[in-house]
Amino acid sequence: MDPFARKMILGMVAFGSAFLLMAGALSVVYFHHRPRCGEAVVSEATSPDKQWTSAVMERRCGEESPFFVHVNLRPAAEPIRLSYFSGRADQGEVFLAEQESPDIAPELEWSSPTQLTVRCSRCRAALVQKRDERWGPVEVRYQLGP
C-alpha cells in the first residue's frame, strides 16, 4: 500500500474516532442537563425523630404526557436523588398516581417515627399506579378518595 494512502486512512480513522467520542461525551452532558422528565417538590414532611423525610413531588415527562404526583421517602440527611439521564426521582418512591388536575396533591402526616400516612381525598384509585405499604423500617398507610 502507498505510504501516503496509509497515512490518509489512519488519519481518517483517528478523526472519525475523535468525532464519535466527542459526540458521545456531548450527548451525555446534554441529556444530564436537559433531562426528559421534570420534577418539582410540592411539600415535605419530616418524621418526629428527624430521621426520615417524605416529599410530595410532581413529575411530567414531555409536553404531551400527563402529570404524575408521587411520594418519595429518604433519610433526612440525604437530598432527593434524580436519575442521571431521565431526571426522575424514582429512588424511595412509595406512591405514584396520574393527576387529573394540577391542584391534586397528597397530604403527609407522620403518626410515629416509623409510620407515615398519605391522605389524598381527590386521588382516584383507578389512577394510582404504585402504592407500597412499606419502605425499609417505615410503614406507609393510605387514605385515598373514591
At 16-58, the pLDDT tens digits run 999 999 998 888 787 766 767 778 899 999 999 999 999 999 9
| pTM, entire model | 0.74
Digits of tens for pLDDT over the chain (146 positions)? Answer: 788 888 899 999 999 999 999 998 888 787 766 767 778 899 999 999 999 999 999 988 777 778 889 999 999 989 988 877 677 888 899 999 888 666 778 899 999 999 999 998 888 777 888 999 999 999 999 998 76
Is residue 58 within 8 Å of residue 68, measured between CB atoms?
Answer: yes
Is residue 107 within 8 Å of residue 120, measured between CB atoms?
Answer: yes
Radius of gyration of the chain (CA): 23
What is the CB-side half-sphere exposure of residue 123 using CA atoms within 13 A? 24
